């Protein structure tokens, strides 16, 4: 029987899509009986309030958003805000390690600097849960093609090389969607798409008779200018025999949305999985999480990559034949309408998405990720005692 372990999770809700994959693994490990504690912000504490997973909340002045805002105010110059934030948080994490005495730390992409510093300072092993596609040595696509310019500055390729210091890397993506590099490092593993929602209860109106549903999504961490996508999508869909659900976050400027067509409704939260089970189409900013969730439920897409890693996500979905992609700078209602006619009118998009869905639904990504972490801890517990593990703390 596998031994139960103590696991410290370093999370941040800053990037939106980076947190749900790590949350899914955290909940999976907790449900498997491991003792899990999280270092995260108030959003994470709220998310885990009903899961009985303790969270040590980052002080407000040490929220990652504060450090990134300073960096942007300085013209995107100077030291990395991720590194500065990690250095500011390290004393708190070291104190937490001293009290909690974990055997491994888990991180997402925005907490990788903090995890790397913690590994060095405390002598702990580190598992990096990559929320998206593979990037790094021998990647099949250039970094510059996959990441928008500003995100490329924040997640510079040379910083990403530091992931080589992680003892275990789990990629929350599918190898059909994101073909691995020819020489995938031995400690890297594709586990499949990981997602986590606060609730999966379907609103009653989703099952009311009527036209097919179309889901329009924006990032859960609002991106500059993103309401343009929402306005154009609602305007284009108003001319189609569909019902539209637009999901927004509380940080989106609702005043920029304009009038809402009669066939649309706007929601601050609705479980995407509940909509996608019933949807005919997905229109999205091309976040990795929502695109992989669309694939899981066999929903074809029209994608407008807005920022961050979204150009790489949209390119991969288009290459699979399940999506049409419109560059952000080219987006118009006429162009979007043409893409909608194309995807809704050609059976091949739905057929390919359904084939991929049948493949993905036979997998259990959370179970694979948790089993991989468990196996790694079991293997590495054979050497070194607890006293040596905490000698640096």
Tens-digit pLDDT string for the chain (393 aa):
457 899 999 999 988 889 999 999 999 999 999 999 999 999 999 989 888 899 999 988 899 999 999 998 998 888 889 999 999 999 999 999 999 999 999 999 999 999 999 999 999 999 999 999 998 888 899 888 999 877 766 766 556 667 889 999 999 999 999 999 999 999 999 999 998 887 778 999 999 999 999 999 998 888 889 999 999 999 999 999 999 999 998 888 888 999 999 999 999 989 999 999 999 999 999 999 999 999 999 999 999 999 989 999 999 999 999 999 999 999 999 999 999 999 999 999 999 999 999 999 999 999 999 999 999 999 987 654 444 454 455
- Report the C-alpha gap between 175 and 224 in whole angstroms: 31
* CA-closest candidate to residue 122, choices 6, 204, 218, 215: 6
pTM comes to 0.93
Q: Which residue in the block uniquely carries the two structure tokens 């889901």?
A: 215
Number of residues assigned to the chain: 393
- Report the C-alpha gap between 356 and 333 in whole angstroms: 29
- Residue 160: predicted pLDDT: 67
Please name every residue paired with 190 in a beta bridge, in sequence order, or none if there are none: 171
Please name every residue paired with 247 in a beta bridge, in sequence order, or none if there are none: 217, 267
Token pair recorded at residue 295: 């694939």
- Report the C-alpha gap between 113 and 219 in whole angstroms: 24
- Residue 326: predicted pLDDT: 98
Taken in order of first residue, the domains within the chain and their CATH numbers are: 6-192+363-384 (3.40.50.2000), 204-360 (3.40.50.2000)
- Report the C-alpha gap between 81 and 54 in whole angstroms: 27
- Residue 115: predicted pLDDT: 96
Q: Are 28 and 125 in contact (CB under 8 A)?
A: no
């Amino acid at each position: 029987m596998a031994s139960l372990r103590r696991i410290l999770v370093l999370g941040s809700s800053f990037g939106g899509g980076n947190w749900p994959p790590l949350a899914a693994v955290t909940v999976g490990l907790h449900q498997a009986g491991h003792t899990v504690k999280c270092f995260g912000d108030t959003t994470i504490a709220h998310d885990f309030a009903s899961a009985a997973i303790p969270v040590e909340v980052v002080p407000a002045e040490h929220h990652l958003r504060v450090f990134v805002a300073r960096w942007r105010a300085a013209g995107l110059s100077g030291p990395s805000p991720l590194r500065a934030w990690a250095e500011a948080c390290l004393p708190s994490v070291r104190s937490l390690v001293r009290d909690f005495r974990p055997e491994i730390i888990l991180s997402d992409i925005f907490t990788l600097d903090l995890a790397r510093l913690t590994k060095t300072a405390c002598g702990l092993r580190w598992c990096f849960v990559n929320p998206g596609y593979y990037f790094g040595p021998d990647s099949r696509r250039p970094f510059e093609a996959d990441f928008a310019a500003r995100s490329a500055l924040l997640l510079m390729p040379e910083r990403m090389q530091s992931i080589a210091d992680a003892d275990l890397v789990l990629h929350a993506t599918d190898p059909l969607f994101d073909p691995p590099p020819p020489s995938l490092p031995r400690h890297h593993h594709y586990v499949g798409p990981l997602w986590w929602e606060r609730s999966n209860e379907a609103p009653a109106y989703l099952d009311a008779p009527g036209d097919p549903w179309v889901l329009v999504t924006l990032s859960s961490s609002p991106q500059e200018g993103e309401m343009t996508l929402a306005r154009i999508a609602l305007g284009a869909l108003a001319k189609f025999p569909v019902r539209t659900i637009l999901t927004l976050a509380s940080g989106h400027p609702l005043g920029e949305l304009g009038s809402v067509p009669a066939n649309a409704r706007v929601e601050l939260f609705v479980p995407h999985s509940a909509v996608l089970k019933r949807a005919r189409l997905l229109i999205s900013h091309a976040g990795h999480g929502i695109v992989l969730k669309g694939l899981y439920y066999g929903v074809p897409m029209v994608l407008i990559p807005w920022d961050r890693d979204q150009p790489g996500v949209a390119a991969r979905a288009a290459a699979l034949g399940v999506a049409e992609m419109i560059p952000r700078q080219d987006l118009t209602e006429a162009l979007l309408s043409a893409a909608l006619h194309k995807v809704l009118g050609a059976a091949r998009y739905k057929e390919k998405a359904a084939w991929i869905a049948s493949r993905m639904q036979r997998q259990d990504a959370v179970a694979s990720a948790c089993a991989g972490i468990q196996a790694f801890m079991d293997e590495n517990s054979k050497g070194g005692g607890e006293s040596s593990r905490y000698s640096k703390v």
